[in-house]
Amino acid sequence: MFVPESIAHIMLQKISDLQSIIEADLAAIVDAASLEAFRLKHLVKKGTLQGLIDDLRSVPKEDKPTIGKALNALRSFVEERYTTIEQSLEPRTLAPSIDVTLPGRRPPVGAIHPIHAMIDRTIEIFSSMGFDVAEGFEIEDDEHNFGKLNFAPDHPARDMQDTFFIKSGVRSDVLLRTHTSSVQVRVMEAMKPPIRCIMPGKVYRNEAVSARSLAEFHQIEGLAIDKHLSVADLKATIMEFARKMYDATAEFRFRTSYFPFTEPSMEVDMSCFLCSGKGCRICKHSGWLEICGAGMVHPNVLAACGIDPEEYSGFAFGFGVERVVMLLTGIDDIRLLYENDIRVLRQFRS
């Protein structure tokens, strides 16, 4: 006898069949494309699962709870497995493939700032001539910045350099050094001759900021003290340095000048390395570039620093680092060296 199967029975069979199909399809998901094909087949409104859920309508009322439960169980099972697989595929779906032929990305690389590159190069050149390096202090007292350098208390030379004084409840003579010559004093106080030392560092002057001057800049000072040092040693040392730094064929000119701490004092000019002395924009058509102040250390300075001027003599020189960087690089506004604009600095990667 033919016994018609109940609707509930058929539904349970269909649910079980679909479960088998779904399990097989889940097992076949290997990438984003097969995942999507699975979703379109089973999980969309017109998909297999929703089809069965729609059929629930034709199930007799008394069987609905049983069939509904079975359908819910299947739906949770599918959704859970689908999400798990989707998550496990995610990294690959976001970065579908790697093009190994692309060139690598360069990590950003920093560089030595042109000011410090210049200081390093100067140290290198003077080291090769047997000079040590000393740094001293940026915050100084009057005695080291002026007094022991033979600036008399009311000497007009103090006006040569506008000074930032530091307000202190205790002392009125604390200041930001206006030149690296203060380090000369520190070195002479601390060391016995023979002395050969260069002293790079930051200095401060109360000056209006412009394309040519800043209130804070760098100097490099040089000092040599020994028996029988003369102007000839001074000249040879500066010329050797400048020929290595700028131009091996440079000519020099030593003009008399005045500094309280040297006697005689001079300013040193070098034939312009850009036009070889013919005259150009950089040397203002004179053919000469001023490269440093210099002189023989004044006997008063030696004595103030505990060195016998009868036994020893010495020479000193000093120059501004920013000016040299500007000459060598063609930068014509000193402020560019302080603004840390990456577009400027990038040009000095070496």
Chain residues that interact with ligand PHE, rule: CB under 6 A: 179, 181, 221, 259, 262, 293-295, 316-318
Q: Rounded to the nearest whole angstrom, what is the least distance from the CB of residue 95 to ligand PHE in the complex?
A: 60
Q: Min. distance of Cβ 350 from ligand PHE in angstroms?
A: 29
Of 180, 348, 194, 350, nearest in space to 259 by CA = 180
Q: Of 197 and 316, which has the nearer Cβ to ligand PHE?
A: 316
Minimum distance from CB of 325 to ligand PHE (Å)? Answer: 17
Structure tokens at 222: 């040089």
The nearest distance, CB 184 to ligand PHE, in angstroms, is 7
What minimum distance in Å lies between the beta carbon of 130 and ligand PHE? 19
DSSP lists the bridge partners of residue 140 as 175
| Residues 201, 123: Cα–Cα separation, whole Å | 12
Q: How far is the CB of 108 from ligand PHE (least distance, A)?
A: 37
- Report the nearest approach of ligand PHE to the CB of residue 346 (Å): 32
CA-based radius of gyration for the chain: 42
CA 156 and chain centroid, separation:
41
Q: What is the DSSP letter of 150?
A: T
Q: Could you give the CA distance from residue 310 to residue 333 in angstroms, rounded to a whole number?
A: 46
Residue closer to ligand PHE by CB (options 193, 318) is 318
For 263-269, the CB contacts below 8 A with 24+ separation are 263/295, 263/296, 263/298, 263/299, 264/231, 264/295, 264/296, 265/293, 265/294, 265/295, 266/293, 266/294, 266/295, 267/292, 267/293, 267/294, 268/238, 268/242, 268/292, 268/293, 268/294, 268/317
CB of 160 to ligand PHE, least distance (A): 8
| Strand-strand pairing, 252-259 and 195-204 | unpaired
Beta pairing class for 262-271 and 288-297: antiparallel
Nearest residue to ligand PHE, scored by beta-carbon proximity: 318
Residue among 161 and 276 whose Cβ is closer to ligand PHE: 161
Query: Residue 251 or residue 263: which is nearer to ligand PHE going by CB?
Result: 263
**For residues 178 and 271, which CB has a smaller minimum distance to ligand PHE in the complex?**
178
Q: Considering beta carbons, is residue 79 or 189 the nearer one to ligand PHE?
A: 189
Taking the least distance from each CB to ligand PHE, the nearer of 15 and 239 is 239
Can the peptide bond before residue 194 be classed as cis, meaning omega within 30 degrees of 0? yes
Instruction: Return d(Cα 224, Cα 296) in angstroms, integer.
Output: 9
Using the minimum distance from each CB to ligand PHE, give the nearer residue, 42 or 298: 298
